[in-house]
Structure 1
Amino acid sequence: MPDVDGPAERPEDPGAGILRPPTGMFHGDRTAVPKDLSGRLWVFLTRPEDVQEELWRRRPAAAG
């Protein structure tokens, strides 16, 4: 998905919701987790940054 921010910010039906708003992850992905009216969880994902493995392994430790 090219843009996780747009769809995640505007659930179309009352009762739908966002369990995790769009978030940049240490491994380079940007994800959002919405829930639909039937209770299904979805994961919207895009990769705005290609992270080299060496940096990918160091980022979680740097985050805390």
Structure 2
Amino acid sequence: MCTHTPTCPAADSSDAEAAQVVAAHPEQGWNLLCNAVLVFEDTGELLPDGRIIAPHRPLATV
């Protein structure tokens, strides 16, 4: 899916969230990245192969 230089990280790499946004839908709470990862506003992700990454927000400090 990535056609620009430098290429975006693959969907299964540790830095997959660094890929460029190709479709932003903040009103719906999600963005589609160039590597076909869907990133949700709660920090959860849906990978192109259907795997789910649970939300990983930092814990609030007390």
Shared fold, TM over 0.5: no
Larger radius of gyration: 1
Question: Which fold has the larger relative contact order, with Cα–Cα distance below 8 Å and residues 6 or more apart in sequence?
Answer: 1
The structure richer in helix per residue is 1
Q: If the length of structure 2 is used for normalisation, what is the TM-score?
A: 0.25
Q: If the length of structure 1 is used for normalisation, what is the TM-score?
A: 0.25
